[in-house]
Amino acid sequence: MSLAIDVPNIVINTPEWLALLTTGVGAAEGAVLARNSTRNKSVQMDFVGCLVLALFMGLGGGFARDALLGNTPVLALRTPWYVVVVIIAAVLVTLLGRFIPSTHSKAFLLLDSLTLGLYAAIGVQLALDFDVSLIGAVVVGMFASLSGGIIVSVLKRETPQILLTGSPYAALAFIGIVVYLVVAPYSGGLASVACVSIVVVTRFAVLRWNIKTRATVPLQSRDG
């Protein structure tokens, strides 16, 4: 007799409260980044800027995922609650920003890691539901987990952090996606938990041991 482990699949049957929490955390992070940008004299944002960054950080990954799959109208616009959560997050950060943990605190890093893992897992599973190839599912999962941050960086006139040397971020989403694809044929529930867990654990591990990526070696000039 085989021992079956019944683990709820939080990706296929994502509780609405969890999906809204994921959106809220991303939106709050975008709003915090907008407020911090006021320290840069060349880029100062008002509440509208705060709201726009919150919108793209909270929903940008879902927009990119659904656009790639042709899943329109995008899921976040089929109900008003996702946009409402974004607005609430932007207002709270604007009014109570000093009481919200900084983006470098352990609490915020944990929530950010959970968001990264959830967007990656939901993106890759939805791609599989659309009969996309495994390679295509990886691409959709990466876009879902990273697009929001990239858009926000561009709006702030910054180079997206995933393109620069430093603590790995995109690589963690990729690892989580690969883990999901490996485990999914056996148990969708375990796959979703494994994906999110590995992203969270590796995120804190690379920060704990100060693991950083290296710059690429410049190509040698023919004249050199």
pLDDT confidence of residue 86: 95
215 in a structural domain:
no
Strands (E), 56-206: none
pLDDT confidence of residue 84: 96
Kindly report whether the global pTM for this prediction surpasses the value 0.75.
yes
Confidence of residue 187 (pLDDT cuts 50, 70, 90): confident
126 in a structural domain:
yes
pLDDT in tens, 32-74: 888 776 555 556 788 898 999 999 999 999 999 999 999 999 9
Burial of 132-149, coded b for 16+ CB within 10 Å and e otherwise, reads: beeebbbbbbbbbbbbbb
Residue 222 has pLDDT above 70, yes or no: no
Which of 7, 6, 18 minimizes the C-alpha distance to 111? 18
What is the torsional sign of CA 87, 93, 99, 103? positive
Across all residues in the chain, what is the average pLDDT?
A: 86
Residue with the larger pLDDT of the pair 103 and 180: 180
Residue with the larger pLDDT of the pair 97 and 33: 33
65 in a structural domain:
yes
Residue 141 in tokens: 């999962």
Residue 182 has pLDDT above 60, yes or no: yes
Residue with the larger pLDDT of the pair 4 and 209: 209
Residue 85 in tokens: 């959560």
Calpha distance 175→137 (Å, rounded): 13
Confidence of residue 95 (pLDDT cuts 50, 70, 90): confident
The distance from CA 170 to its chain's CA centroid, rounded to whole angstroms, is: 9
The distance from CA 57 to its chain's CA centroid, rounded to whole angstroms, is: 8
Phi/psi for 5 (5° steps) reads: -105, 115
What is the torsional sign of CA 151, 152, 158, 159? negative
Total tally of structural domains belonging to the chain: 1
10 in a structural domain:
no
221 in a structural domain:
no
Task: Give me the mean pLDDT over the 116-128 stretch.
Answer: 91
107 in a structural domain:
yes
Residue 8 has pLDDT above 50, yes or no: yes
pLDDT confidence of residue 158: 87
2 in a structural domain:
no
Residue 28 in tokens: 């709050």
Confidence of residue 103 (pLDDT cuts 50, 70, 90): low
Task: Give me the mean pLDDT over the 197-207 stretch.
Answer: 94
The residue segments making up the domain with residue 195 are 16-208
66 in a structural domain:
yes
